[in-house]
């Protein structure tokens, strides 16, 4: 799913709101994006505007996605570090 953080909709008043459709396009701040990203956002919005929306669920999905990205980055870093430090005893490696 193409995820766009609902910038202006993301506030305490809306945290438990369940909508039958996406928040208004202006809540995504399309004018703050470069032309290519703005076109992608508008295309995505037009294709999905009638989709039910829950800020709480959207934020949960966003956090889970960020966590997976971080996990993959940490595994890649660990593998890179293991490859670079081959032959060095673990107690000799200091991470800062």
3-state secondary structure 24-45: CHHHHCHHHCCHHHHHHHHHHH
pLDDT, residue 1, reads: 42
Asked, for residue 71, whether it belongs to a domain, the answer is: yes
Residue 15 to residue 54: CA distance in whole angstroms: 8
Q: What is the reported pTM?
A: 0.67
Quote the domain boundaries for residue 47.
12-92
Asked if residue 3 belongs to a domain, the reply is no
Mean pLDDT across the stretch 11-37? 92
Average pLDDT over residues 6-17: 85
Grade residue 89 by pLDDT with cuts at 50, 70 and 90.
low
Taken in order 55, 6, 22, 41, is the CA torsion positive or negative? negative
In a domain, 39, yes or no: yes
- Number of domains, the chain: 1
């Amino acid at each position: 799913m193409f995820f766009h953080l609902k910038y202006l909709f993301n506030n305490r008043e809306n945290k438990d709101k369940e909508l039958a459709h996406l928040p208004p396009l202006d809540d995504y701040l399309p004018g703050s994006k470069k032309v290519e990203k703005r076109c992608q956002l508008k295309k995505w919005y037009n294709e999905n505007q009638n989709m039910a929306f829950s800020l709480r669920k959207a934020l949960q999905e966003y956090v889970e996605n960020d966590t997976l990205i971080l996990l993959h980055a940490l595994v890649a870093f660990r593998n890179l570090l293991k490859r670079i430090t081959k032959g060095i005893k673990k107690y000799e490696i200091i991470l800062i």
